[in-house]
Chains A and B, each alone.
Chain A
Amino acid sequence: NAGVTQTPKFRVLKTGQSMTLLCAQDMNHEYMYWYRQDPGMGLRLIHYSVGEGTTAKGEVPDGYNVSRLKKQNFLLGLESAAPSQTSVYFCASSSTGTSGFVSDTQYFGPGTRLTVL
């Protein structure tokens, strides 16, 4: 099992360019998440999906769009990149979400380092 994979690993964009980050998981998980990680800020949830064909906004969704057309894939799109979107992006998946008061284990990919000039 590869677990959670992310492509690309690194990317440099110019302001205004667009791009799509791809996340794939082979664990048959229902839930998938996109986070961004900035120094001292921990991980902040951008968007998440509770199943194929469904998506929802997280804490910091502005400037991003997502799609979950297949259960194993979760795409994160930046339509018009801004320097404020320079960050490391992590995808994660879990079998279930929050069961009552406890979060299911989230499995993370290795991250994509994005720089917007």
Chain B
Amino acid sequence: TQLLEQSPQFLSIQEGENLTVYCNSSSVFSSLQWYRQEPGEGPVLLVTVVTGGEVKKLKRLTFQFGDARKDSSLHITAAQPGDTGLYLCAGVANAGNMLTFGGGTRLMVKP
């Protein structure tokens, strides 16, 4: 059983559509990160959220950390083919602990 559950596991949409992916846990996380991984490469950090209720924007990507710090979401507006990839959330459960990764959401944006 994973500490961080991501949904959906797979998502295939047309260019221009909006989408939201979720990262949920029954545990409280002190901080949470979102990474994007392209085929054949390692993950790259997109954002870190620390405060419950925090919202961060990165161009067309909006990240939110739940008020109770048990969940997070990533919303993409007007998706583009360049957004295609594997999106991973990762969190720190307690001070001094290592990162725990979710299973990932694989996104495909078709032209």
Contacts and interface: CB of A to CB of B under 8 A. Distances in A.
A101 B40 contact: no
Interface residues of B, number: 29
A98 B2 CA distance: 20
Contacts of B30: 100-102
Given A102-B30, A103-B99, A40 B45 contact: no
A45 B98 contact: yes
A102 B92 contact: yes
Interface in A84-106: 90, 92, 97-98, 100-103, 105-106
A110 interface: yes
A48 to B, nearest CB: 7
Interface stretch (B13-21, B54-62, B73-81, B101-109): B101-109
B73 to A, nearest CB: 17
Interface residues of A, number: 27
B43 interface: yes
A33 B43 CA distance: 13
Interface of B: 2, 4, 6, 9, 30-31, 33, 40-45, 48, 50, 88, 90, 92, 94-104
Interface of A: 4, 33, 35, 40-45, 48, 58-59, 90, 92, 97-98, 100-103, 105-111
